[in-house]
Chain A
Amino acid sequence: MKILTLNFVTCARKACKASPAAFPLRPREAELEIVEQDINPLFVRNVLPRLEWDALREVCGELGLQQLPSTAPSPDDLFTTTPAAADTAMADAADAHEPRPSQLLRDLHTLLLETTMRSGKLVCGNCGHEYAVKEGIANFLLPSHLV
């Protein structure tokens, strides 16, 4: 499960929907894996304003990932028009001024889309329910008395 998804998934119990403690679910005993993906700059730009940045920081902290800045980056920081030094020689005149992915965008891509939770548990901070994650798949089936 991608770190991106951890920023959106909530406890499945109806009783937890309204509780602020139910989000984000807390990863426990997480085994992480990097799964390489093609970078999709427009997708990152699309979801960036939708992220709960504080929740992302907390989850990254709990997973022992890199420290994130305290405020969310602005969409303007995702692209740069200055060609990277190594590219200048090859870029033709028209290409040189095209906006290109910034380092920030690359880092967000790696964190949100390539860093995945392969196994472990997700725990609700409100009701304590534990959702198992195995082979990257999270089990959100609830026993009927919890629905």
Chain B
Amino acid sequence: MPRPEDSLPPDLYYNDTTSAQYTTSSRIQSIQAQMTHRALSLLNLSAPSLILDVGCGSGLSGSILSSVPGSAGGPHTWIGLDISASMLGVALEREAEGDLFLADAGQGVPFRPGTFDAAISISAVQWLCNVESGTESAEGRLNRFFSGLYAALRRGGRAVCQFYPRDDRQKDLICGAAKRAGFGAGLLEDGVGTKQEKKYLVLTVGGGEIMGGDITGVVSGLEGVDVVDGRKGGKEGKRRNGKGVKSSKQWILQKKDRMERKGKVVKATSKYTGRKRKPVF
């Protein structure tokens, strides 16, 4: 199968048609959900957290973060970055709970130091190896991303990136950049040798909290997992039918009305209030 990464830049590949097809495919939904749950269990969060979702797309991964029940340490609040306006448009239509940024992770992570408890990235990081202009390199983009991510996480924070490297060279390039940024890094591989093989880069800031910062400790005892110690060489949430975001125009106007009566300052109603569109920048 040809890799989408080899066909077009991500913002062109994930156009309106592809983004809609991607998001409504029940096969994709279930694979992305499975990987997000896996990443969440590796993050091992015990309290509602602020999470960065890198390459958040249409919010398939994020919606799972929002629906982790209280009994499993959730729900979490997330902020998503994505380079495709079409994907973010679909996220808007689906009323994603997270705040959305149209941004290229290869340009860095625009948040102040220590912002996030954790980060996830599901099926996105390999795209950073794509280079569109002569002034940049894959290494440069990966370095900017991982050093920005490192700074934006609080000490003791963790990131889990599930990714699809093209080959071993690309895998090493990505893992190497993460380690250079200062992360304690380990690569976890599920289903090795099968068609469903999945790679998770597990990253820690400032070590300490997980068994002396040793990734092998995080994954030991998990079945069917091969551990590669990255430094040498290389509980599940349930979906909830949440109350969600109420954003019908009528509701917004009612709320504005109520707020005005309560004496709070509310900005003038514009003709766009409550209308759903894709933002055109």
Contacts and interface: CB of A to CB of B under 8 A. Distances in A.
Interface of A: 1-2, 4-5, 8-12, 14, 23, 30-38, 40, 42-43, 46-47, 50, 52, 64-66, 113, 118-119, 132, 134-142, 144, 147
Please give me the 9 A-B residue pairs with the lowest Cβ-Cβ distance, nearest first.
A43-B48, A134-B279, A140-B103, A12-B110, A8-B115, A64-B265, A135-B279, A139-B281, A5-B99
8 contacts: A8-B111, A14-B108, A36-B243, A36-B246, A40-B75, A43-B49, A50-B115, A119-B270
A48 to B, nearest CB: 11
Interface in B83-118: 83, 88, 92, 97, 99-104, 107-108, 110-112, 114-115, 117
Contact of A119 (B50, B245, B272): B272
Nearest to A41: B48
Nearest to B135: A144
Interface in B111-150: 111-112, 114-115, 117, 133, 135-136, 144
A140 B110 contact: yes
A45 to B, nearest CB: 8
Scoring B83, B103, B259 by chain A CB atoms within 10 A of each residue's CB, the highest score goes to: B103
Given A35-B245, A47-B50, A136 B110 contact: no
Interface string B254-272: 0110010000111110101
Contacts of A14: 108
B110 A10 contact: yes
Given A137-B88, A137-B92, A144 B48 contact: no
Contact of A35 (B79, B104, B246): B246
B56 to A, nearest CB: 11
Nearest to A35: B245
B252 interface: yes
Interface residues of B, number: 56
A40 B99 contact: no
Contacts of B27: none
Nearest to B97: A37
A66 B264 contact: yes
B247 interface: yes
A11 B110 contact: yes
Contacts of A46: 47-50, 117
Nearest to A140: B103
Contacts of B108: 12, 14, 147
B112 A23 contact: yes
A37 B75 CA distance: 12
Nearest to B111: A8
Contacts of B232: none
Given A31-B270, A40-B77, A65-B265, A142 B112 contact: no
A127 to B, nearest CB: 13
B79 A40 contact: no
Nearest to A65: B265
Contacts of A9: 101, 110-112
Contacts of A42: 47-48, 70
B242 interface: yes
B222 interface: no
Given A11-B110, A141-B83, A38 B243 contact: yes
A35 B10 CA distance: 31
Contacts of A65: 264-265
Nearest to B108: A12
A14 B108 CA distance: 8
B273 interface: yes
Given A40-B75, A47-B50, A134 B111 contact: no
